[in-house]
Structure 1
Amino acid sequence: MENASFWSPEFDIVRRSDGTTFMTHKGTAPRLADTIAARIGYWADRAPDRIALAERDGAGWRRVSYGALWQQMRRIGAGLLARGLGQGRPVLILSENSIDHALLALAGQYAGVPTAAVSTAFSLVSQTHDKLSGVAGLLQPGLIYAGDGARYARALAAIGGDVIVVTSCNPTDGAQPFEALAQEDTSAADTAFAGLRGDMVAKYLFTSGSTGSPKAVINTHDMIARNQDMVADCFRFLARRPPVVVDWAPWSHTASGNKVFHMVLYNGGTFHIDAGKPAPGAIDETLRNLREVAPTWYFNVPAGWEMLLAAFRADRALAERFFGNLDMMMYAGAGMAQHLWDGLTGLAREVTGHEVLLTTALGATETGPFALMCTTPQKSPGNIGVPAKGVTLKLVPNEGKLEARLKSPSITPGYLGAPEASAAMLDDEGFYCLGDALRPADPGDLSKGFFFDGRVAENFKLGTGTWVAVGALRARLVDHFGGLLRDAVIVGEGRDELGALLFPADGADPDAAALSAMLDDFAATATGSSTRIARAVLLRDPPDLDRGEVTDKGSINQRAVIRHRPEAVELLYSGARGLKVEGR
C-alpha cells in the first residue's frame, strides 16, 4: 500500500553463490543542507518566530525561536573560540537534556567545536566514576559544562585537572556562569562556520562501554546531515507539517541526541524537552506535558508506552489530544508485547478513525543512527523494516543466521584515538559490522522487511554442538514472565542444558512458587534443547554498572554477568532442575 506520508522504496538485490546477499535502496536522498547549523539558519531566515526549543519553567515554558536560536549559536560559538576551543579541544557535557545543553551543542556545531554529551549514569549512578574518567582522559576537553554544579560536583571532582568549568546553576568554586559564554562580536564564529567541511568532527557519542571503556564514535558534519536527508526522504510528512515532539530520551544516546533532536531542527519543528521518564512517579511529568502539547511524532520505550496506554484509557481527553495530530508512533530499546501493540493501534484507530503507524527500526551509534526503517503497517511488532535510501544491507551467512552489515553515507569514520577498533569495525569490503543477525519477514521478498534475530556475539553452542539464539530466547523468556522480570541472562555454553539467571523487576518481590510454575510452563513450550530452560536462579542484587553488567541504557551484558557471578552459575547447575533463589 502506497502512502504519500512515507517513501515508496525500490531495491537492487544481488545474491552470491556463497549465500551472501546485498540489498540496496535505489537512489540518493535529496540533499537539504551541508550541516545541521546551516539548516537552522535556513529556518531562522524563513520562520524566525517559530519555536525551535521549549522546556518547562515552573507552570509555563521557556521557549527559544529559530531566530533567537541562530543568534545564540553564533554568540556562544564565538565564546567557545575565544576560550581556545576547536577541533582538537572539545567540550564535555555533563547534563540532562535542557535548552542550555542544546544551545551549547549547536553553538559547537556552528563554530567547529566538537561536543560530547555523556550518559548521566556515568556521573550520577556510578560509584567509581571509572567510565567518566576514561571518557575525559580520551577527550582531553578544553571545557566542561555541568548543567547543575552541585548535582555534578562529585563527577567534576573525579575528572579533576585544570579545565574551564561552566554551569547553568549552583556553580562550583571557580566555575563560569553559562551566560558568560556568549559574546556580542560573532565574527570569529561566523568565519569558522563559513569554513566548515563535511569531514570535520561535529560531536562525539560514546558507546555504552559494556565490555570496557566506552568508545568515542566520531560524528562528522556530513555524517549527521546525510543521515537527516535519509530521515526526511523516509518521513515525507515532515515536509508537509514540521514535527512537534515531546521527548525525554537522553541526548547522550544516538536515538534522541542525533536522530530525533536533529530531525526536529532539520525540518523546522519544535522540540519540547520532557523532564519525565518511563518510571513510576516520573511518568507524571510526561503526562503533564502531553496534556498541553499534542505531538505529531512520538517515541518511547515499551515500558513507557505501557504506562501511557493505561493513562490514555483512564483519560479520554488525554487520548484524544495525544492521537489527534499524530503522524507516527515509534518504539525501541526492547521488544514490544503483542497486547501493548494491539492496545495502542486499536486506541489510535478508535480515537482518530484511521490507522496511525506504530513501528520500530534498526541502527547503531556508528550508523548515524538511521539505517533500517519499517513504514508498512504491521499486525504485530518486531519488523525493523528495510534499508534507507542509499544504504546497502549485506547479509552474510553465519552459523545458520544472517549477519547484518551496512554501507552508508552516514557511517562513522571511526573511533577517537582507537585506530585498531576503527579498522576492525569494517569488513574487507568496507561494510560496517553491526553484530546483529536478521531474519527476513518473507525470504522470497526482502522488501517485506526483517526481524532482529539476536546479537551474533551472544550466541553460543551447547555441549551437544547445538547453537542457541540467545537474544530471541531471552526476549521470549522475559515476556513470558509478564513484567515480573527486569531481564535475564541465558547460561549454558558447553553444557548439556540451558539455564537462566533472572533479575527481578525494579521494586518487585515476586513469589518464588509462582515464578517456579511459570518456569515450568515456559520449559513445556520448548521445541528442543536450544529453547528449553528448565532451571533458573532468581538473583538478589541488581546488575552493576561499574562492573559492566548493565549499560547506561539499561541493557544487560550477558558475558559480564556470568563472569562476575560464578556462585550464581554454580547454584544454577547444582542439584535438581527448577527455580532457586540466591541467598536462600
Structure 2
Amino acid sequence: MTTPLRTPPPSVEVDHRADGSILLRSPLPLPRVRQSLPHIFDETADAHPDRLFMRQRTAPGGPWRDISYRDARRAANGLAQWLIDQGLQPGACVAYLSAPSIEHGIVAVATQRAGIAIAPVSVAYSLLSTDHAKLRACIVKPGAKIVFVDDATMFGPAMRALADLDVKFVAVKGAAEGIEAVPFAEVIATEPGPEVARRMAAITPDMTARIMHTSGSTGSPKATPQPQSNMTLTVAQIEAIGLLDFGGEGPQHLEAMPFSHIMAGNFNFANVIRAGGTIHIDDGKPTPELFPRTIANLREVSPHFFITVPLGYVMLCDAMEADDALRDSFFRNMRYIGFGGAVLPEAVKDRLLALSRAALGHELPIFSFYGATEYLFGTLKYWTGGRTDVIGLPLPGTDLKMQPVDGRYELRVKGPTLMPRSGYLGAPEASADLFDDEGYYRTGDAVHFADPDKPEEGLVFGGRIADDFKLTSGTFVSVNALRNDLIDAAAPLLREVVLCGLNEAHVGALVWPSDPGLPDLRERVTGAIATFNAGQSGSSRRIKTAIIETQPLSFDAGELTDKGNISPRVIRSRRSDAVADLFADAPTRDVLAF
C-alpha cells in the first residue's frame, strides 16, 4: 500500500494594481529546469536503461509488446539521423497522424533530438472526416515535411488526401494503394552519427518542440508552436509541488488520451519520462463501446496516477462500485487522481473518495488541472479538500493576471510555457489580439476568487466570457456556473446541458439525458429541474423552459470537439429551431415549462 502523498499548502503572492487588475504569482521555489525533453529522456535512460518506456497491446485483449528506455533511445537516435539525412534543418516539422503508440512515442523523442518539431494530428481528422480539409490544414500550416502513420492501410484515404502536398510518408505497417511509404523499421535502423549529438547540444528553451492544434470547433484548427520550456518548466513545476514523488518507483501510467492533446502529449508524457516510469497505452475510451477495454487494462495495470475527464470517472465509479477486485487494482499504487476539461460533479467526487477509503483506508487526493494548448497549465489545484470548481493557483514560474472585463475578471497568463508572441502558424488574423500590452495571453476565461479574503483558497473558473449572455431585463447569466450546478443537482440524470436566452426574457435549456431509454424520462427531467429551480433566486438562475434532445451531439457538425468537449455556439446555431421553440408562444415540439 502506498504512503499518502505530501504536497505543499496552497500559497500565492497577490498584487492589486491601481487599474483594477490583480497579479498572482507562486512563492514556491523551482528545482533545476533541464535543457530539453531529450536531455530528460537521456537522464532516465542512463539511470534506468532496462525499465520499460512504453507498452501497448498487439490487439484488443491481446498480449502486450514493450520497449525499454535503452532500446527506445537507440531507435530515437537512428530516426533523428534519418531525419537529418532527409535534409531537415532545426525548426522543421514532421506530422504524426495516428493514435498513441510505441512508435509515436519514439518519434516524439527523436524529432526533438534533431531540433525538429513534431505535430501530432487528431485521429478524427483522418478517420472520421470525409473531405480531410482540417487534416490538410494541420499539415500545410506548420509546413510538415514528413508524415508518420502506424497503419498505412487504415490511413490510406488520409494519405491520398495529402499526396499532392510533396510530403514523404513513413508507415509502421500496412500499405496504401498508390502511395509510397518508407518502412518505420528501416528508418530507426539508421546508424546515428555525431550530428545527432550536436543538434541536441544546440537545443534552446525557446526552440519549438511540438506543434499542437486547437480543437477546430469554430473553423480550421490553429497550429500552436510550443517551445521546449513548455515541457521542461512544467516538469520542474510538478516536481516543486511533489507530484513526481512516487517513492522511488517508476510510476505506471495508463494513457487513454491522444498525444494530440496537451494532457497526454505534453504533461503525462514528459512527467512519466522524468520519473522513469512506463506509459501503458490504453486502447479504451470513456464511451459505452470502448470503456470495457479500459476496465480490462485496469485489471492488469495499477497506475500511480490517473487523469481523465469527469465523464470517464462516472463510468469508472459505476464499474468499481460493482467490482471490488477492479477497485482494488485501480487504487493499489495510486498516489493521486486528477480531472480537467470540465468541473467534476460533487456527487462523483464523493463516490471516488468513498471508493478510495474502501481500497486504501484513506481518501485519495483529487486535483484539478486548468490549461490550454497555448500555454499548457496556468493553474493547478494541488491541495486536497474544498470545492471541485476551484481550478487552483499559479504554478511556480507562471504569472497570472486577473483583468477587469465587463464587471468580471478575465484570466491572462504569462511565462516560459507560453506560445511565442508571433502567435499561431499561418493564421495572422487569429493571432492579432492574443496578447495584451504586457505580453499576457488573453484566455477569454472568467475567474474569481473562491474567497476574496483568502486568495490562497484558489480561483474558480467562471466559464468562457463569450458564452455568457444577458436577458432582456439586463440580467447577466453566468452560463458555466448555472450549467454545472444543474448537472450536479440532477446527477446522474443529465449528461449535458446547453443554456440559451440571449436577448430573451428567461433562460431555456437543451438537455441530453445520460440514459435516453430511462422509463418516465420526461417526468424525471421535469422533476429534477423543478427541484433545482426551487432552490434558486432570480431569473438568471432559474430554467423556465427545456427541451429533451433525442438527436446525439455530432462530431462531424462541430457540436463536439475532438477532445470530447461541447461547442455551445455551434449547438445553438445548428439547433436554432429547437432554441426558437424554447421561447415560442406556439412551439413545434415538446417543451417543458416551469
TM-score (norm 2): 0.91
What is the root-mean-square deviation of aligned Cα atoms in Å?
Answer: 2.4
Specify the alignment match of 1:217 in structure 2.
224
Mark the CA change 1:291 to 1:540 in structure 2 (over 3 Å): closer, same or farther. closer
The CA deviation at 1:313 is 2.5
Alpha-carbon distance in 2 for matches of 1:11, 1:341: 26
Determine if contact 1:202/1:219 at 8 Å carries over to the other structure. Answer: yes
Determine if contact 1:359/1:374 at 8 Å carries over to the other structure. Answer: yes
Query: 2:347 matched to 1:339?
Result: yes
Further displaced range: 550-559 or 108-117: 550-559
Mark the CA change 1:87 to 1:53 in structure 2 (over 3 Å): closer, same or farther. same
Query: 2:536 matched to 1:530?
Result: no
The one-letter amino acid of 2:572's match is: I
Determine if contact 1:543/1:549 at 8 Å carries over to the other structure. Answer: yes
Determine if contact 1:22/1:395 at 8 Å carries over to the other structure. Answer: yes
Query: 2:563 matched to 1:553?
Result: yes
Alpha-carbon distance in 2 for matches of 1:401, 1:508: 41
Gaps of 5+ in 1: none
The CA deviation at 1:273 is 1.1
Query: 2:399 matched to 1:398?
Result: no
SS of alignment partner, residue 307 of structure 1 = helix
Query: 2:484 matched to 1:475?
Result: yes
Determine if contact 1:127/1:546 at 8 Å carries over to the other structure. Answer: no
SS of alignment partner, residue 279 of structure 1 = coil
SS of alignment partner, residue 540 of structure 2 = coil
Q: Which of 176, 182, 187 is matched with 2:182 structurally?
A: 176
Mark the CA change 1:163 to 1:577 in structure 2 (over 3 Å): closer, same or farther. closer
Matches within 5 A, 1:55-204: 55-57=56-58, 59-87=62-90, 89-161=92-164, 162-172=166-176, 173-182=179-188, 183-204=190-211
The one-letter amino acid of 2:424's match is: Y
The one-letter amino acid of 1:303's match is: L
Alpha-carbon distance in 1 for matches of 2:512, 2:358: 37
Alpha-carbon distance in 2 for matches of 1:349, 1:481: 25
Alpha-carbon distance in 2 for matches of 1:130, 1:476: 38
Specify the alignment match of 1:422 in structure 2.
431
Matches within 5 A, 1:374-385: 374-385=381-392
Alpha-carbon distance in 2 for matches of 1:339, 1:506: 18
SS of alignment partner, residue 409 of structure 2 = strand
The CA deviation at 1:206 is 0.5
Gaps of 5+ in 2: none
Mark the CA change 1:390 to 1:79 in structure 2 (over 3 Å): closer, same or farther. same
Specify the alignment match of 1:461 in structure 2.
470
SS of alignment partner, residue 360 of structure 1 = strand
Determine if contact 2:26/2:394 at 8 Å carries over to the other structure. Answer: yes
SS of alignment partner, residue 29 of structure 1 = coil
Q: Which of 325, 335, 338 is matched with 1:317 structurally?
A: 325
Alpha-carbon distance in 2 for matches of 1:458, 1:112: 40
Matches within 5 A, 1:509-524: 511-524=521-534
Specify the alignment match of 1:231 in structure 2.
238
Alpha-carbon distance in 2 for matches of 1:418, 1:93: 21
The CA deviation at 1:563 is 2.4
SS of alignment partner, residue 136 of structure 1 = helix
Q: Which of 248, 253, 257 is matched with 1:245 structurally?
A: 253
Specify the alignment match of 1:21 in structure 2.
22
The CA deviation at 1:248 is 0.6
Mark the CA change 1:508 to 1:200 in structure 2 (over 3 Å): closer, same or farther. farther
After superposition, the C-alpha distances for 1:440-495 in whole angstroms (9 at most, x for unaligned) are: 22211111112211111111111111111111112233344434444222111111
Alpha-carbon distance in 1 for matches of 2:11, 2:483: 34
The CA deviation at 1:128 is 3.0
Mark the CA change 1:312 to 1:517 in structure 2 (over 3 Å): closer, same or farther. closer
Mark the CA change 1:50 to 1:217 in structure 2 (over 3 Å): closer, same or farther. same
Alpha-carbon distance in 1 for matches of 2:281, 2:93: 24
SS of alignment partner, residue 154 of structure 2 = coil
Alpha-carbon distance in 2 for matches of 1:448, 1:247: 30
Determine if contact 1:128/1:546 at 8 Å carries over to the other structure. Answer: no
The CA deviation at 1:188 is 3.0
Further displaced range: 75-84 or 124-133: 124-133
The one-letter amino acid of 1:424's match is: D
The one-letter amino acid of 1:458's match is: D
Alpha-carbon distance in 1 for matches of 2:471, 2:31: 49
Specify the alignment match of 1:54 in structure 2.
55
After superposition, the C-alpha distances for 1:399-423 in whole angstroms (9 at most, x for unaligned) are: 3322211222211113212345335
SS of alignment partner, residue 580 of structure 1 = coil
SS of alignment partner, residue 374 of structure 2 = helix
Further displaced range: 309-318 or 459-468: 309-318
The CA deviation at 1:581 is 6.5
